[in-house]
Structure 1
Amino acid sequence: MSREVPLVAGHPLLGSLKELREDVLAAYLRAQRSVGDVVRFQAGPPGLRTEVYGVFSADGVQQVLGSQAANFRKDNPTYDEIRESVGNGLLTSQDDEYVFQRRMVQPLFTRRRVDEYATAVRAEAVRTVAGWKSSSDGVVDVSSEMTEFGLRAVARILFGADIDTAIDVIRRRFPVIGESVLRRGVSPVRLPRTWPTPANRRTIAAQRELYDVCDRIIAQRAADGEHDGDDMISLLVRARDEDGSGLTADAVRDQILIFLLVGHDTTATSLAFALHLLAGHPEARARARAEVDTVLAGRPVTAEDTEALTYLNQLLKETMRLYPAAPIIGRRAFADADVSGFRIPAGADVYLTPWVTHRHPDYWERPETFDPERFTPDQEAARPRYAWFPFGGGPRACIGQHFSMMEACVALATVLQRYDVEAYDPPGHTTPVALGMALRPAGPLRVRVTARTTEAAA
């Protein structure tokens, strides 16, 4: 018989509201350490109290994302807000609609197709680091730099030659959309979007401008004919199912905006923290640089090189362990379920937390220590599958996992060919994090860069 999920102790009146609002990641981590791998939080005063469940063990995550995935759905308020803001694309769609969308989009993310995107990724990485030479003190904020790189790289792949038409709108308007999704997704009271509040007006204006620029480019691609263009918009416009059906213009726009929403911040987070960690770990930095120099021998990195850059892949995975771009993954139970021997009731909001599972002492020795050796093939094979899940898992695993790893590896190799990175912050400095649409540093993430004497070809 399933056991009742233990309650995390909180304030007599407000429950865990204060802890969850102040630092939800720390609250989940404390709960796992003090209560266990399946926990229950209550937050808010009686009568307005909400209840959420946390699942932290690898086997529990496997049940929610894998074996019981059909019962744990994307029906919570945050996903509702994403649907309202940028459309019902692959991230948020469900059931038959999701199956159809995945079938249509999958050809854009085959290994062969993804490898073709590497040239655009490298060009944007070169463009980004070219500006570092002008830094008077040799110090750069890799958080802002990698955010700009991630935005331009994804936008170039999506919009192709129209990147300059779209990039300014995306840069200005996506933060407005993201802020609205986060604010409304956790609010106990969500005012109708039609009410003319200042926040609603800002969000609607941002949405309208984003939709307009996408719609114009999609219409142009459709008018260009069947054989023009290899950017993602062109590929989506031409995509056809077995029966000859394709995506509507609105559906193409939804996919593009979802890719933008989840695509640029996630890789930017991984790259920024990877550079910051390398700057503070001289041995890892030297090994990564030596591997880049040996494998590439001064030539531009290609997608084919990423498999040979084994240590770079290990350190990127270790970075994603410590700083998963999606540190919390939410689902809602459709029916009663048993997870790791505990009863999860129908309608419950369930949160999986890579931030916690990636630090679980049952799977990770010295979990707060940066150690890329954790991701040698032997070490990976010895751990449960869901001890590390920055890309989710199960039938809803991120379709862009290979693209994200390729993009990060190509960009990191490009940086290390051109610059040495060293720590700027004093020893013992800790990096506070914040939750946006992706995990991010709470402030600048500074490293000192020095141009290498021998540069790679462009």
Structure 2
Amino acid sequence: MVQAQVLETPTRRQPASPNLIEILALLSRRNLPMTFLRLARKYGDVVHVKGGPLEIFLLSHPEDIREVLVVQHANFHKGQGVQMTSRMLGQGLLTSEGDFHKRQRKLIQPAFHRQRIAAYATTMVEEASRLAQSWQDGAVVDMAEEMMRLTLVIAGKTLFNVDVEREASTVSQAMAVAMEAFIKIGLSPWAEQLERLPLPIRRRFYRARDEMDRVIYRIIEEHRRSGRDQGDLLSWLLLAHDEEGAMSDEQLRDEMTTLLLAGHETTANALAWTWYLLAQHPEVAKRLRQEVVQVLGDRLPTADDFSRLSYTEQVLAEAMRLFPPAWSIDRTAIRDCDIRGLTIPSGARIIMSQYVVHHDPRFYPEPDRFLPERWTPEARAARPKFAYFPFGGGPRLCIGEPFAWMEGVLVLATLVRSWEAELVPGQRIEPEAAVTLRPRYGIRMRLHQLQRAAALV
């Protein structure tokens, strides 16, 4: 059983402050998750960086993170990293603040209740099965692209009841340009200054956003004309209203764009990294397939199978520990506050990295090993809650978390029952920290079709 170590917290904490040369040297490597991890391992749970008007705190202890996201969440707003994102997503759940965010979340929340998600499960399995049938034995595929395409189709049908493959080039281009802009501008400490410059990436970004808007607004108009519940999330949102009335087309656009772009990429990357890890750990893949065959037999999974596929969920959870799709959370203090004896001035930027905490040996012995048994109920209970937070936490916990778990488990179970994949040798595989933690060069894998008997071996 994992035994979590809880640190003693002094009455007043003085954070460690690396020198500027060391910070610049680490940043030059262009791998922010590893930069944060090195800083935390060298300087501890609180790292303080100050240069001119810029002041940053890297917090890496679960109790500090709980204070920011839950206990004192009202003292913080989303950080500057979300500003570039808001240019694409507008004022959706990911980017909005205050009373407007509370209203939107209240309107959208019922669409993610368990019964509604169970209805989406049929689409998840159907599309995963369709992909499995399209694969060819011995073919080489980029598993990152395969999972991205699959989750995009699932998102399109569950959100809009449309086949977004018709608009694949527009959607893919918009996402690619948004990611490039986020990497070049949004992740920079000088993002606010860079956004004022007439950079070529900004012009490409706004052209891509306009094309994306054309697609989304057309789908909203078609749904309004239809006037019926098509069983998708957009139909639900068109019917949703409160004392202030229904959502405007602009609000619908912002929420649907947020759910489409932010939702499908996170699950796609989680699944891609899971395939990568399974290829390196055949003993885990064998046990996973044994569970799938034992639970499902010859049939496809349903929503009712989710709770029975416990090891499948553990495999996915461990993959998201090692490669958390959302690898960092950014907040800005809107007033002076105290975090367990640490003074945080108004305007300071707070960074809490899932990648750092998920690799902390205090909570995960041998943190670089792929060990799904870390996720038994007993092991989970032994760790602080915010030793694992792939979906954030507090009032801004990802609204799509139940959807993501259902999709990840059912898609994985559908595919591994008849396919295995081996890594193509000689390729370079490394994570790239954009909006999500994705494979920088993809993951090329050779597919091998399994017979039912082979899945049991």
Query: Structure 1-normalised TM-score?
Result: 0.91
**Is structure 2 residue 210 aligned with structure 1 residue 208?**
yes
- Decide whether the 8 Å contact of 2:326 with 2:437 is kept in 1: yes
**2:225 is matched by which residue type in structure 1?**
A
- Decide whether the 8 Å contact of 1:16 with 1:42 is kept in 2: no
Q: Deviations over 1:3-36 (max 9, x none)?
A: 332102341xxx5123124222122111111111
For residue 8 of structure 2, what is the aligned residue in structure 1? none
Pick aligned residue for 2:76 from 68, 72, 83: 72
For residue 282 of structure 2, what is the aligned residue in structure 1? 282
SS at match of 2:399: coil
For residue 313 of structure 1, what is the aligned residue in structure 2? 313
- Decide whether the 8 Å contact of 2:429 with 2:442 is kept in 1: no
For residue 234 of structure 1, what is the aligned residue in structure 2? 235
**Is structure 2 residue 36 aligned with structure 1 residue 41?**
no
**Is structure 2 residue 454 aligned with structure 1 residue 450?**
no
For residue 271 of structure 2, what is the aligned residue in structure 1? 271
- Decide whether the 8 Å contact of 2:333 with 2:347 is kept in 1: yes
Q: Which runs of 5+ in 1 are unaligned?
A: none
**2:14 is matched by which residue type in structure 1?**
E
For residue 367 of structure 1, what is the aligned residue in structure 2? 367
Aligned-CA RMSD value: 2.1
- Decide whether the 8 Å contact of 1:159 with 1:166 is kept in 2: no
Pick aligned residue for 1:16 from 1, 20, 23: 23
User: Which stretch of the first structure deviates more once superposed, 336-345 or 306-315?
Assistant: 336-345
**Is structure 2 residue 63 aligned with structure 1 residue 59?**
yes
SS at match of 2:135: helix
**Is structure 2 residue 434 aligned with structure 1 residue 436?**
yes
Pick aligned residue for 1:86 from 66, 86, 89: 89
| CA deviation after TM superposition for structure 1 residue 359, in Å | 1.1
- Decide whether the 8 Å contact of 1:85 with 1:181 is kept in 2: no
SS at match of 1:203: helix
| CA deviation after TM superposition for structure 1 residue 125, in Å | 1.4
> Cα distance 1:333–1:117, how it changes in 2: closer, same or farther (>3 A)?
same
| CA deviation after TM superposition for structure 1 residue 321, in Å | 0.5
**2:168 is matched by which residue type in structure 1?**
I
**2:203 is matched by which residue type in structure 1?**
R
- Decide whether the 8 Å contact of 1:162 with 1:217 is kept in 2: no
Distance 1:65 1:195 in 2: 33
Pick aligned residue for 1:107 from 110, 121, 130: 110
| CA deviation after TM superposition for structure 1 residue 78, in Å | 2.1
Written as runs of structure 1 = structure 2, the 5 A alignment for 1:387-406 is 387-406=387-406
- Decide whether the 8 Å contact of 1:265 with 1:437 is kept in 2: no
| CA deviation after TM superposition for structure 1 residue 127, in Å | 2.6
- Decide whether the 8 Å contact of 2:274 with 2:319 is kept in 1: yes
> Cα distance 1:389–1:192, how it changes in 2: closer, same or farther (>3 A)?
closer
User: Which stretch of the first structure deviates more once superposed, 167-176 or 103-112?
Assistant: 167-176
Written as runs of structure 1 = structure 2, the 5 A alignment for 1:397-436 is 397-425=397-425, 431-436=429-434
SS at match of 2:48: strand
Q: Deviations over 1:240-273 (max 9, x none)?
A: 22x3711111100000111122111100111011
- Decide whether the 8 Å contact of 1:194 with 1:200 is kept in 2: no
- Decide whether the 8 Å contact of 2:80 with 2:191 is kept in 1: no
**1:117 is matched by which residue type in structure 2?**
Y
Distance 1:4 1:193 in 2: 34
For residue 131 of structure 1, what is the aligned residue in structure 2? 134
For residue 353 of structure 1, what is the aligned residue in structure 2? 353
**1:169 is matched by which residue type in structure 2?**
T
> Cα distance 1:19–1:379, how it changes in 2: closer, same or farther (>3 A)?
same
For residue 6 of structure 2, what is the aligned residue in structure 1? none
- Decide whether the 8 Å contact of 2:330 with 2:352 is kept in 1: yes
For residue 154 of structure 1, what is the aligned residue in structure 2? 155
SS at match of 1:40: strand
For residue 122 of structure 1, what is the aligned residue in structure 2? 125
Pick aligned residue for 1:3 from 6, 13, 35: 13
Distance 2:141 2:274 in 1: 14
Q: Which runs of 5+ in 2 are unaligned?
A: 1-10
| CA deviation after TM superposition for structure 1 residue 389, in Å | 0.4
Distance 1:437 1:448 in 2: 28
| CA deviation after TM superposition for structure 1 residue 407, in Å | 0.5
- Decide whether the 8 Å contact of 1:62 with 1:386 is kept in 2: yes
Instruction: Number of aligned residue pairs: give it.
Output: 441
**1:385 is matched by which residue type in structure 2?**
K
Determine what percentage of the aligned residue pairs are the same residue: 35
Distance 1:235 1:27 in 2: 43
Q: Deviations over 1:31-65 (max 9, x none)?
A: 1111110111346xxx5x73321000111111111
Distance 1:334 1:449 in 2: 51
SS at match of 2:13: coil
Distance 2:423 2:258 in 1: 35
> Cα distance 1:97–1:42, how it changes in 2: closer, same or farther (>3 A)?
same
